[in-house]
Structure 1
Amino acid sequence: MEFESTVHYPADLATVARMLIDPAYMEYRISQLGVEVLEQTVTGDPAAPLFRVRAVIPPGLVPAAYRRFVPPRLVLTLVETWHPQAGDRSPGGMMTVEFDGIPARASASFRLDGVAAGSERHYAGEVSARIPLVGRKLEAAAVGAIQKVVRAEEAAARAYLAG
C-alpha cells in the first residue's frame, strides 16, 4: 500500500537539515516515541550519514485487532540513509523499516524542502505485509501508525529546536 506523508518543522531549511543528520537529534527523536532502543548506530560521512536503529515496539502501539498476528515482543529495524547534498538539490534520502518475525516492511524516499513557515520533509513510500487474509488490513493500520509517528516527529522537533 502506497503512502505519502509530510513532517512540518518550525525552522529554516539549513537549521533543520543540520538537526536531522545530527546523531544527538536521532537519539532524542527515537526516545520520544516510547520505544525500547536495543541498538543505535551512525556510520558514513557526517554530511550524509546512515542511521540504524533496532527497537522494541510497545504492545500498545499495535492495534488490538492485529496483536495476534505479531510476536509479543515486536522488534523493528529502522535504516535512514541520507544522500550527499549537491548544488541546489534538496537534502534527501531513503528510509526502510523491517520487523523481526513478520513478513512486513515499509520503505520510502524523502526530501527536505524549505517553505514559508519553516521546512517540510516529504515521504513517499510503500508498506507491505505479506500475511494471508489480513495483509491489506495490516498495511492500512501501518499507514495509520506512520501518521502517528509523523505527528510525534513534529512534536519532538519543536521541543528539540526550542532547546
Structure 2
Amino acid sequence: MAMQESHTINAPIDQVLEAFSSEDFARHVAQKAGVGFESLSVDGDRSSAFTVTTVRSVGADKVPSIAQKFVGNGVKLTQVDEFSAPQGDGSRTVETTIDVSGMPVSATAHQNLTSKGETTVVDVKGEVKANIPLVGKKISAAAEPYIGKALSLQSTTAEAWIKDHN
C-alpha cells in the first residue's frame, strides 16, 4: 500500500519553501498534529539544493494501536527533506525520509513542488516499511494513513500560515 496526496497552495513557491523550512511553521504543524516539536535544522541555502531535518516526538496514543506495544511512551520521528535545486520556473523535487527511533520502521516519499505562478502544487507519493517479523506488513498498512496525514497537514496548513506571516 502506498500513500498519494496532492494539494494546491495559494502562494508562490518561494513563500512555500520559506514555510517548509521555517522552525516556526514546523512548530505550528506539530501543534496542529498534536505531537511534540523537538528541533529543525536547515543545511544549505534555499536558493539551491538544501536539506531540512525535523525531529518530532509522538506519544503512544498517536501511534497505530497495532504498534503501541512496541513503543512504550512514544517515539521520535526524524524527517529529512532533501530539496533539489530549483528548475527554471522555481519548481523543486523533495526526497523525504522519516525514521522512527527505536523501531525498524521508516517512510519514504517523493514530493513535487510545482510552481504555477501565484500558486504551488504539492504532489506526494510515498510508502511506509516496517521490518518486524510477522506484523511488519500490518504495522506498515496501519502507519501509512498517519504518515500521509502528517505530510498532507504540512501542505494544507501552509496557505493560512503564509497569509498570516507575510
Q: Flag whether TM exceeds 0.5 (same fold).
A: yes
Structure 2 distance, partners of 1:54, 1:16, is 20
Separation in 2, partners of 1:115, 1:86: 13
Give the CA deviation at 1:114: 4.1
May I ask how many residue pairs the two structures share in their alignment?
163
Shift of 1:13: 3.8
Aligned to 1:5: 5
Within 5 Å, which residues of 2 pair with 1:9-158?
Answer: 9-47=9-47, 48-88=49-89, 90-114=91-115, 118-158=119-159
* CA deviation string 1:103-140 (max 9, x = no partner): 01001121112469933211122211011111111111
TM-score w.r.t. length of structure 1: 0.83
Deviations, residues 73-132 of structure 1 (Å, cap 9, x unaligned):
211111111111032462122111001111010011211124699332111222110111
Gaps of 5+ in 2: none
Moved over 6 A (4+): none
Larger displacement relative to structure 2 (11-20 or 135-144): 11-20
Identity within the alignment, %: 26
Q: RMSD between aligned alpha carbons? A: 2.5
Take 2:50 and 2:20, find their aligned partners in 1: how far apart are those partners? 10
Output the amino acid matched with 2:70.
Answer: F
Structure 1 gaps, min length 5:
none
